[in-house]
């Protein structure tokens, strides 16, 4: 294989321009999906984290087990279970529906674990001080604990969000036409690897800034722990 | 015979000119005491002597070895220059004996038994033979600093450099470290000490060097420098110290 | 059939379960082998890169940072697709197992390099100076003094990251590897019953639930401090 053949097979402008409409279509869907699943997971996570602070063990323990179970289950398994398994009961779930539920369960558990650690990182004295000024339990959570908790685990939250956006690529397995799926389509039509390379480049351009920011934040967090 | 001969040492940190042509000669078995205001370059001078800092200019000869020559094996040369730091810098994941024997085994290439024998002897010299198995976290600050001294003397250096060895210690722990240093001196160790312990300087130093703004302002016996300082800056500094 | 009977017949069908149990078990071992390959090579490569980075050779370090950023930004499934569907265009066809191995090991390499490097830089400068002043060389100082302290600090984040990436082995099913998920998928399409998926999910829980709980324990046991 000559260099020219190589360029033609992996970095062909011709192919990129032909496949661009379908790639763009997929990219939009990837972005839309991210905008949908990140808040969904975040809401799920906040609920789980709050449940983990409840004193009643009948609430706290199921929340903990739930979190660990969905952290132990690979997200792709969950997604395929919802998409390919559940319809056997007669209950049809669309690819979007499966993604929404699957990410809510999986991502929610990850956000939940991070936020729980954040809440625990706020010294007890903060809560006691707030309660002693007459704030209710919920007000203390809302104004004192949660803001500090968010700040303490901000790098982890961003890191998880990055992972969630990357994870949307598994939706291609259940035929949701997002970026990777469309790239695969284009690749099989053109018999050329360029569309997949293009998808990789798009992901990289999209997510690199986030990786850089994270790297900075993580190093800072580390320096302060010395 | 001079063990340390540093001439015309310059050091720049970027635009900052920290050492401006410092000369320092230390004769065998001498204890030279370096004093001076904060930021005058005392630590930098000391760290240039074993090339933890790379001097920008000048010449350094330690025990006949040209420290700045590219042909000098710096790791070998450093064996002969012990250093004790303000913050001890003991290895937290090793016992006291482990701290002392690491270089004996990996630099001198001694076997475990031989290294441990010499390590024990070094710990014994700082009266910590019974703490050999303790980790740094289980020792007081004063004990940690004495282990650090043992770590350096175990290599049988020709000269020892001390950079404010007692500044990080609670007052009641200072005495033990100074005692260890005094004994070292009695055993004939050549030493360069940067410290604010003026009483120790008066009692133990052969020569006192006063530095300011990256240069040696004056030097002499403790009696000369403390009793009859020649320069205004020295007088001001001594006066200030005396008032404490 | 009532709904309940239909549900049980779908997801907990004893006949199907017995038939496909051996396949799932085979997949179980394959998943473990794949995970082990990824962990060993990924962590070793990450450590090697971190050590090379400590030499502070500028062009080399920029390259390392770029590679690390690249594999942090790309979704693992995209990397797998690139290797499995893209590389044949260059005349290089690799087994799905090898593709998944290389892709996930590269991702683990990137994440672990960041963590190892953070650990190395978190060791105080005085440790380097003390060791160098006794005549230890650069590599000796790194090996005997700095790395042992750095590794201890990196155990919690490393454990959690390794677990997360290892769960990505399920992605191998997309490129025809008969791991747990691959075996379960095949079982579903042959039997036309989702019970193999239930078994697959159970197998993942058996595999990863202890690991997740272990990660949680490590987190508290080796909390970042010295
Ligand atoms: N690595 C460095 N980079 C830049 N500037 C430095 C560095 N190390 C020291 N300096 C500067 O060099 C000057 C001399 O520092 P040095 O530590 O030698 O002073 P010192 O006499 O030991 O002071 P102190 O009594 O406070 O320890 C100071 O202005 C300091 O800020
Ligand atoms: Mg100093």
E strand or H helix at C74, and its extent?
none
Token reading at B71: 């042909």
The pLDDT of residue A226 is 44
> From ligand 2's centre to the CA of B147, what distance in Å?
21
Atom of ligand 1 nearest to the CA of B42: 21
Highest mean predicted confidence (pLDDT) among A88-102, A207-221, C36-50: C36-50
Say if ligand 1 is within 6 A of residue B12 CB: no
> From ligand 1's centre to the CA of B218, what distance in Å?
20
Specify burial of residue C170 (Cβ count, 10 A radius: 0-12, 13-18, 19+): buried
Token reading at B66: 């040209």
Chains that touch A (3 or more CB pairs under 8 A): C
Closest CA to B213 of B36, B7, B23: B36
Say if ligand 1 is within 6 A of residue B40 CB: yes
The pLDDT of residue C226 is 36
The residue count of chain C comes to 226
Query: At residue C34, what are phi and psi to the nearest 5 degrees?
Result: -60, -45
DSSP-derived pairing of the beta strands B31-35 and B190-194: parallel
Only one residue has tokens 């441990």, namely B116
The pLDDT of residue A175 is 86
Say how far apart CA C220 and CA C224 lie, in whole Å: 9
Q: How far is CA C3 from its chain centroid?
A: 40
Are C11 and A85 in contact (CB < 8 Å)? yes
Residues in chain A within 8 Å Cβ distance of C124: 226
Specify burial of residue B173 (Cβ count, 10 A radius: 0-12, 13-18, 19+): middle
Percent of chain A having pLDDT more than 90? 58
Instruction: Assess whether pLDDT exceeds 80 at residue B1.
Output: no
Nearest beta carbon to residue B87 from set C126, C134, C152: C126
Q: Mean pLDDT throughout B204-215?
A: 94
Instruction: Assess whether pLDDT exceeds 80 at residue C3.
Output: no
Instruction: Assess whether pLDDT exceeds 70 at residue B6.
Output: yes
Closest CA to C119 of A163, A209, A218, A156: A218
Instruction: Assess whether pLDDT exceeds 90 at residue A161.
Output: yes
Contact A187, C52 (CB under 8 A): no
pLDDT bracket for residue C206 (50, 70, 90): very high
Closest CA to C64 of C137, C72, C160, A205: C72
Are C209 and A74 in contact (CB < 8 Å)? no
Does C190 touch chain A if contact means CB atoms closer than 8 Å?
no
Query: At residue B87, what are phi and psi to the nearest 5 degrees?
Result: -100, 30
Are B92 and C144 in contact (CB < 8 Å)? no
Residues in chain B within 8 Å Cβ distance of C134: 78-79, 82, 102-103, 107, 151-152, 155
Give the number of B-C residue pairs with CB atoms closer than 8 Å.
Answer: 66
Vertex B16: Cα angle to B13 and B21 (nearest 5)? 85
Atom of ligand 1 nearest to the CA of B36: 21
| Sign for the pseudo-dihedral over CA of C141, C144, C147, C148 | negative
Are B82 and C133 in contact (CB < 8 Å)? yes
Nearest beta carbon to residue C144 from set B79, B85, B102: B102
| CA of B196, nearest ligand number | 1
Residues in chain C within 8 Å Cβ distance of A169: 75, 77-78
Residues in chain B within 8 Å Cβ distance of C148: 93
Does B102 touch chain C if contact means CB atoms closer than 8 Å?
yes
Give the number of A-C residue pairs with CB atoms closer than 8 Å.
Answer: 155
Contact B58, B6 (CB under 8 A): yes
Contact A24, A30 (CB under 8 A): no
CB atoms within 10 A of CB C2: 7
| ipTM (interface predicted TM) | 0.91
The pLDDT of residue A13 is 85
Are A170 and C74 in contact (CB < 8 Å)? no
Beta strands in chain C (DSSP E): none
Looking at every residue in chain C, the average pLDDT score rounds to: 91
Does C167 touch chain A if contact means CB atoms closer than 8 Å?
yes
Atom of ligand 1 nearest to the CA of B214: 14
> From ligand 1's centre to the CA of B55, what distance in Å?
14
Q: Where are the alpha helices (DSSP H) in A54-136?
A: 57-72, 75-80, 95-121, 124-132
Looking at every residue in chain B, the average pLDDT score rounds to: 93
DSSP-derived pairing of the beta strands B81-84 and B2-13: unpaired
Beta strands in B36-115 (DSSP E): 57-62, 65-66, 81-84
Contact B197, B169 (CB under 8 A): no
Residue whose Cα lies nearest atom 22 of ligand 1: it is B43
CB atoms within 10 A of CB B198: 18
Closest CA to B34 of B222, B168, B181: B222
For B102, which residue in chain C has the nearest alpha carbon? C144
Residue whose Cα lies nearest atom 17 of ligand 1: it is B43
Summarised one tens digit per residue, pLDDT across range C107-118 is 999 999 999 999
pLDDT bracket for residue A190 (50, 70, 90): confident
Instruction: Assess whether pLDDT exceeds 70 at residue B154.
Output: yes
Q: Cα dist. B194→A212, B31, B83, B89, B197 in Å?
A: 43, 11, 11, 17, 9
Summarised one tens digit per residue, pLDDT across range C115-167 is 999 999 989 999 999 999 999 999 999 999 999 999 988 888 888 889 889 99
pLDDT bracket for residue C225 (50, 70, 90): very low
Say if ligand 1 is within 6 A of residue B39 CB: yes
Summarised one tens digit per residue, pLDDT across range B139-152 is 999 999 999 999 99
Nearest beta carbon to residue B85 from set C126, C140, C152: C126
Nearest beta carbon to residue C148 from set B75, B93, B107: B93
Closest CA to C54 of C122, C142, C175, C162: C142
pLDDT bracket for residue A77 (50, 70, 90): very high
> From ligand 2's centre to the CA of B108, what distance in Å?
30
Token reading at B121: 């002897």
For A217, which residue in chain C has the nearest alpha carbon? C118
Instruction: Assess whether pLDDT exceeds 80 at residue B244.
Output: no
Token reading at B208: 């006192």
Say how far apart CA C41 and CA C57 lie, in whole Å: 24
Summarised one tens digit per residue, pLDDT across range A139-151 is 888 888 998 998 8
Q: How far is CA C201 from its chain centroid?
A: 18
Token reading at B101: 């024997």
Q: In what order do the strands lie in the sheet with B215-220?
A: B81-84, B159-163, B190-194, B31-35, B207-212, B215-220
Instruction: Assess whether pLDDT exceeds 60 at residue A163.
Output: yes
Query: At residue B10, what are phi and psi to the nearest 5 degrees?
Result: -115, 145
Token reading at B149: 């001294």
For C126, which residue in chain B has the nearest alpha carbon? B89
Does C188 touch chain A if contact means CB atoms closer than 8 Å?
yes
Instruction: Assess whether pLDDT exceeds 70 at residue C222.
Output: yes
Residues 6+ apart with CB under 8 A from B121: B154
Closest CA to C100 of C24, C181, C35: C35
Residues in chain B within 8 Å Cβ distance of C132: 52, 75, 78
Atom of ligand 1 nearest to the CA of B46: 18
Are C168 and A89 in contact (CB < 8 Å)? no
Closest CA to B50 of C134, A37, C11, A66: C134
DSSP secondary structure letter of residue C197: H
3-class state of residue B195 by DSSP: coil
- Contact residues of C toward B, CB < 8 A: 124, 126-127, 129-137, 140, 144-145, 148-149, 152, 226
Whether chains C and A touch (3+ CB pairs under 8 A) is answered by yes
Say if ligand 1 is within 6 A of residue B196 CB: no
Summarised one tens digit per residue, pLDDT across range A88-138 is 888 888 999 999 999 999 999 999 999 999 999 888 888 888 888 778 888
The residue count of chain A comes to 226
Whole-model pTM: value is: 0.87
The pLDDT of residue B201 is 92
């Amino acid at each position: 294989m000559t260099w020219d053949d190589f360029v033609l097979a992996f970095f062909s402008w011709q192919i990129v321009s032909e496949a661009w409409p379908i790639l763009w279509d997929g990219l939009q869907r990837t972005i839309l999906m991210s905008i949908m699943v990140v808040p969904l997971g975040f809401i799920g996570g906040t609920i789980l984290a709050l449940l983990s602070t409840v004193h009643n063990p009948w609430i706290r323990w199921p929340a903990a087990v739930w979190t660990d179970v969905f952290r132990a289950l690979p997200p792709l398994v969950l997604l395929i279970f919802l998409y390919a398994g559940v319809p056997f009961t007669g209950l049809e779930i669309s690819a979007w529906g499966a993604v929404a539920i699957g990410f809510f369960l999986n991502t929610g558990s990850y956000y939940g674990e991070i936020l729980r650690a954040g809440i625990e990182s706020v010294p007890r004295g903060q809560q006691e001080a707030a309660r002693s000024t007459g704030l209710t339990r919920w007000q203390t959570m809302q104004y004192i604990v949660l803001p500090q908790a968010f700040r303490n685990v901000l790098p982890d939250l961003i890191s998880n969000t990055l992972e969630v956006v990357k994870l949307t690529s598994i939706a291609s397995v259940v035929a949701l036409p997002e970026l990777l799926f469309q790239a695969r389509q284009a690749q099989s039509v053109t018999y050329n690897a360029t569309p997949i390379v293009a998808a990789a480049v798009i992901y990289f351009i999209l997510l690199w800034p986030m990786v850089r920011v994270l790297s900075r934040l993580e190093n800072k967090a580390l320096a302060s722990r010395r | 015979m001079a063990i340390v001969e540093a001439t015309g040492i310059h050091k720049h940190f970027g635009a900052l000119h920290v050492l401006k042509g410092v000369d320092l000669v230390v004769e065998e078995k001498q204890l030279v005491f370096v004093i001076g205001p904060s930021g005058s370059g005392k630590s930098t001078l000391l760290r240039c002597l074993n090339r933890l800092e790379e001097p920008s200019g000048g010449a350094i000869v330690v025990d006949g070895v040209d420290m700045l020559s590219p042909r000098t094996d710096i790791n070998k040369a450093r064996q002969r220059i012990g250093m004790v730091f303000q913050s001890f810098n003991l290895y937290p994941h090793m016992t006291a004996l482990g701290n002392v024997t690491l270089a004996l085994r990996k630099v001198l290439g001694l076997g475990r038994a031989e290294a441990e024998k010499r390590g024990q002897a070094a710990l014994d010299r700082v009266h910590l033979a019974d703490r050999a198995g303790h980790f740094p976290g289980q020792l007081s600050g004063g004990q940690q600093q004495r282990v650090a001294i043992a770590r350096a003397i175990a290599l049988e250096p020709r000269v020892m450099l001390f950079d404010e060895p007692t500044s990080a210690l609670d007052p009641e722990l200072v005495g033990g470290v100074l005692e260890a240093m005094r004994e070292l001196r009695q055993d004939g160790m050549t030493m360069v000490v940067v410290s604010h312990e003026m009483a120790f300087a008066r009692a133990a130093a052969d020569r006192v060097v006063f530095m300011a703004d990256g240069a040696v302002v004056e030097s002499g016996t403790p009696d000369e420098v403390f009793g009859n300082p020649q320069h205004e800056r020295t007088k001001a500094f001594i006066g200030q110290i005396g008032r404490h | 059939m009532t709904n309940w009977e239909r549900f049980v017949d779908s997801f907990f069908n004893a006949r199907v379960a017995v038939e496909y149990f051996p396949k799932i078990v085979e997949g179980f071992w394959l998943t473990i082998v794949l995970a082990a390959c990824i962990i060993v090579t990924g962590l070793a490569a990450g450590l090697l890169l971190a050590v090379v980075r400590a030499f502070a050779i500028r062009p080399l370090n920029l390259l390392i940072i770029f590679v690390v950023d690249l594999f942090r930004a790309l979704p693992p499934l995209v990397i797998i697709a690139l290797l499995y569907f893209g590389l044949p265009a260059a005349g290089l066809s690799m087994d799905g197992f090898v593709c998944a191995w290389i892709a996930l090991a590269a991702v683990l390499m990137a994440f672990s390099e960041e963590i190892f490097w953070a650990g190395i830089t978190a060791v105080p400068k005085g440790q380097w100076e003390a060791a160098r002043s006794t005549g230890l060389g650069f590599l000796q100082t790194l090996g005997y003094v700095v790395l042992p302290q750095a590794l201890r600090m990196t155990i919690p984040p490393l454990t959690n990251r390794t677990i997360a990436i290892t769960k990505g082995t399920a992605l191998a099913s997309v490129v025809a590897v008969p791991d747990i998920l691959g075996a379960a998928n095949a079982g579903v399409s042959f039997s036309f019953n989702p019970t193999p998926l239930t078994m697959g999910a159970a197998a993942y829980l058996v595999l990863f639930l202890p690991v997740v709980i272990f990660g949680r324990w490590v987190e508290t046991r080796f909390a970042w401090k010295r």
